[in-house]
Amino acid sequence: MARKKLMAANWKMYKTPQQAQEFLRAFLPMVDGHDRDEIVICPPFVCLPAVVEALAGNYIGVGAQNLHWEKEGAYTGEVSAPMLKAVGCTHVIIGHSERRQYFGETDDTVNRKLQAALAAGLAPIVCVGEVLQERESGLTEEVLRRQTQRGLSGISGDQARTLIIAYEPVWAIGTGKTATPQIASEAHAVIRAEAAEAVGKVTADNMRILYGGSVKPENAKALMSESEIDGALVGGASLDPKSFTAIVRY
C-alpha cells in the first residue's frame, strides 16, 4: 500500500523568526511544485507565527515541538494545543527523546499530550526509540512495544487516523550514526504491529512511520527506498535550506 511520505524538519532550539523567514525565502523556490511528499516545518514556538505567515497558501505544514495537555491554566511556561491551533499549526511533535531525556517526559505524559493534540485537530508526530544501552542489551523491541502501547493507550482507530509515529533511535540522533535502512525497517515493523494492537490493523497500515536520527542528503535515498519507512524527521540537516531540500527531493 502506498503511503505518502512525510518529510519533517525539527529545528529544535535553533533560529529566530527572522532566520526562519530567511530559511523559507531560500527553501520555498527550491521545493516549488514538489508534491510527491508532504513537508512539515517544526520551528521553535516563537517562530510559529512567522513561519505560518510565510507559508500562507502553501501546502507545507507547520508543527510545534511540544505542547501541554491542558487547554489552559496556571502552567507557567507551557503552551496548549488550542493555542497552537489558533496560530495556524497543523502538526505537533510529542515525546521527542530530548524531552524524555532532559524534561521528564514519560509514556504517560506522551499519552496525555497525544489526546490533547488529537482533540484540538493537530496531527501528532509521536517519537519513540531506544537508547544505545537498550539496543546493546537486546531490549529494542521491548522498548518500542512499550512506548507505542503506552503512548497510544485509549486512542481509537478513528482518532488515530492523523497520527504519525517517528522512530528515532536515540543513539542516532545528532551523532552522525544512522540506523541502516534494515535496522530502521525492522523497528518500524515492530512499531506498526504494536500500533495495530492499539488502534487496529487498518489504521496502523495507513499510519506513517518516519525515521529520524542523522538523516542527511547522503543517506536519505537509501532510507526512503524502504517500503516500511514513510518519511523522515530531520534535525541538524534541516537547518540549511539546501540540505533539507536535498533530503526532501532525495
Element (H, E) at 144: helix 140-151
Nearer to ligand PGA, 148 or 238 (CB): 238
Residue type, 116: A
Nearer to ligand PGA, 121 or 174 (CB): 174
Element (H, E) at 185: helix 181-199
Does the footprint of ligand PGA cover residue 63 (CB under 6 A)?
Answer: no
Does the footprint of ligand PGA cover residue 215 (CB under 6 A)?
Answer: yes
As measured in angstroms, the least distance from the Cβ of 202 to ligand PGA is: 28
Grid cell for residue 78? 507551557
- 72 contacts 86 by C-beta, under 8 angstroms: no
Residue from 143, 235, 241, 247 in contact with ligand PGA (CB under 6 A): 235
Nearer to ligand PGA, 10 or 90 (CB): 10
Residue 193 neighbours by CB distance under 10 Å: 15
* Integer Rg of the chain from CA: 17
Does the footprint of ligand PGA cover residue 194 (CB under 6 A)?
Answer: no
Residue 57 neighbours by CB distance under 10 Å: 4
Distance from C-alpha of 19 to C-alpha of 25, rounded to nearest angstrom? 10
Instruction: Report the half-sphere exposure of 52 (CA within 13 A, side-chain side).
Output: 16
Does the footprint of ligand PGA cover residue 214 (CB under 6 A)?
Answer: yes
Report the length, in residues, of the chain: 250
Distance from C-alpha of 87 to C-alpha of 103, rounded to nearest angstrom? 24
Catalytic site residue 168?
yes
Of the candidates 96, 186, 194, 228, the residue annotated as catalytic is: 96
Catalytic site residue 22?
no
Closest CA to 115 of 155, 82, 84, 143: 155
Does the footprint of ligand PGA cover residue 210 (CB under 6 A)?
Answer: no
As measured in angstroms, the least distance from the Cβ of 110 to ligand PGA is: 15
3-state SS track over 44-64: CHHHHHHHHHHCCCCCCEEEE
Grid cell for residue 61? 505544514
Residue from 212, 220, 229, 250 in contact with ligand PGA (CB under 6 A): 212
**Contact range with ligand PGA by CB under 6 A, out of 30-38, 130-138, 151-159, 208-216:** 208-216
As measured in angstroms, the least distance from the Cβ of 15 to ligand PGA is: 14
Grid cell for residue 190? 515492530
Site for ligand PGA in 155-174 (CB under 6 A): 168, 173-174
Does the footprint of ligand PGA cover residue 185 (CB under 6 A)?
Answer: no
Nearer to ligand PGA, 37 or 53 (CB): 37
Nearer to ligand PGA, 168 or 194 (CB): 168
Catalytic residue positions? 96, 168
Note the residues at the interface with ligand PGA (CB under 6 A).
10, 168, 173-174, 212-215, 233-237
